[in-house]
């Protein structure tokens, strides 16, 4: 039986969730440019993939349909919100949408939720949604627990060293770089065209942000570092570790 909630009929779903016995994993991503060599949806597909693998490995978990449109891309983490194709929503929209979705799942008897985030900029919206959900649910006697995680926080230094044998430029510039590209090569190679991967030094930014953003701060390709050393094998290493650790932590 599918771990994806949307593929179940409601009675099968009801059986799986009754008595709050299941954890609901909710992938949250973004539609955001990831360079010339990759599609706009890694931030959706990666957390969804991880969620499904975790659910299959750990048991007692179901995966909700992903939230595809995320919070506005920022220059220093996602290239900026001015790229064609980057299609993002306001913090209020994302917060309210996530808030409503969790409360709706809570109505079915679910009490534990794991938000699996694939887009850095979503973080604070998810924090606020989670905080409000917990308090609102409590008003009607429901003790809800929301875990919030970004998958890359489960990658160990050892794996980083293995993936970046020539040195790691830091998480800040990994947007569209080796990390995401490797994972996509592993799970959706048809959405990656390595022949268009640019070879650029890691982006460098001043220690502040400016609005409206200044496109000249960002490499033309939209990636913040070079994806050219990405391989499906590296993607597998990363995924294996994330999936294993998340599954273990929350089993």
Q: Residue 137's CB: how many other CB atoms inside 10 A?
A: 19
Check binding of 147 to a copy of itself (CB under 8 A): yes
Cβ neighbours for 177, distance < 8 A, ≥ 6 positions apart: 169, 223, 224, 225, 226, 227, 230
Check binding of 167 to a copy of itself (CB under 8 A): no
Residues 31-60 that bind a copy of itself (CB under 8 A): 31, 33-41, 44
Residue 180 is a catalytic residue: yes
Catalytic residue among 43, 95, 112, 174: 43
One residue of 19, 140, 195, 216 binding a copy of itself per CB under 8 A = 140
Listed residue (172, 68, 82, 70) closest to 124, CA to CA = 70
Residue 34 is a catalytic residue: yes
218 secondary structure, DSSP code = S
Nearest-Å Rg of the Cα atoms of the chain is 18
Residues 59-88 that bind a copy of itself (CB under 8 A): 64-69, 71-72, 74, 81-88
Give the phi and the psi of residue 147 in degrees, each rounded to 5: -95, 140
Residue 43 is a catalytic residue: yes
One residue of 20, 123, 164, 228 binding a copy of itself per CB under 8 A = 123
Residues 169-208 that bind a copy of itself (CB under 8 A): 191, 193, 196, 206-208
DSSP reduced 3-state for 213? coil
One residue of 21, 59, 145, 240 binding a copy of itself per CB under 8 A = 145
Check binding of 11 to a copy of itself (CB under 8 A): yes
Residue 175 is a catalytic residue: yes
Q: Is the CB of 70 or the CB of 235 nearer to a copy of itself?
A: 70
Asked if residue 106 lies in contact with residue 142, where contact means CB atoms within 8 angstroms, the answer is yes
Listed residue (136, 58, 59, 34) closest to 95, CA to CA = 136
Check binding of 211 to a copy of itself (CB under 8 A): yes
């Amino acid at each position: 039986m599918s771990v994806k909630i949307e593929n179940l009929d409601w009675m099968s779903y009801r059986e799986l969730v009754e008595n709050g016995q299941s954890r609901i994993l909710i992938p949250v991503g973004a539609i955001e440019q990831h360079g010339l060599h990759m599609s706009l949806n890694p931030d959706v597909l990666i957390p969804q993939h991880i969620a499904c693998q975790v659910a299959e490995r750990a048991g007692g978990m179901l995966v909700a349909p992903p939230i595809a449109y995320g919070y506005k891309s920022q220059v220093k983490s996602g290239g900026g919100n001015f790229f064609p194709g980057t299609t993002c929503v306001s913090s209020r929209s994302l917060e309210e949408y996530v808030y409503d979705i969790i409360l709706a799942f809570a109505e079915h008897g679910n009490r534990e939720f794991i938000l699996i985030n694939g887009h850095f900029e979503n973080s604070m919206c998810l924090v606020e949604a989670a905080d409000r959900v917990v308090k609102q649910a409590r008003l009607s006697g429901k003790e809800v627990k929301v875990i919030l995680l970004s998958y890359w926080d489960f990658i160990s230094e050892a794996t980083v060293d293995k993936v970046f044998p020539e040195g790691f430029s830091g998480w800040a510039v990994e947007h569209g770089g080796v990390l995401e590209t490797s994972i996509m090569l592993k799970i959706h190679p048809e959405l990656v065209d390595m022949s268009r991967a640019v070879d650029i030094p890691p982006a460098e930014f001043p220690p502040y942000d400016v609005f409206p953003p200044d496109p000249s701060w960002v490499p033309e390709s939209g990636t913040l570092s070079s994806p050219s050393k990405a391989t499906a094998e590296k993607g597998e290493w990363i995924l294996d570790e994330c999936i294993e650790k998340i599954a273990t932590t929350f089993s």
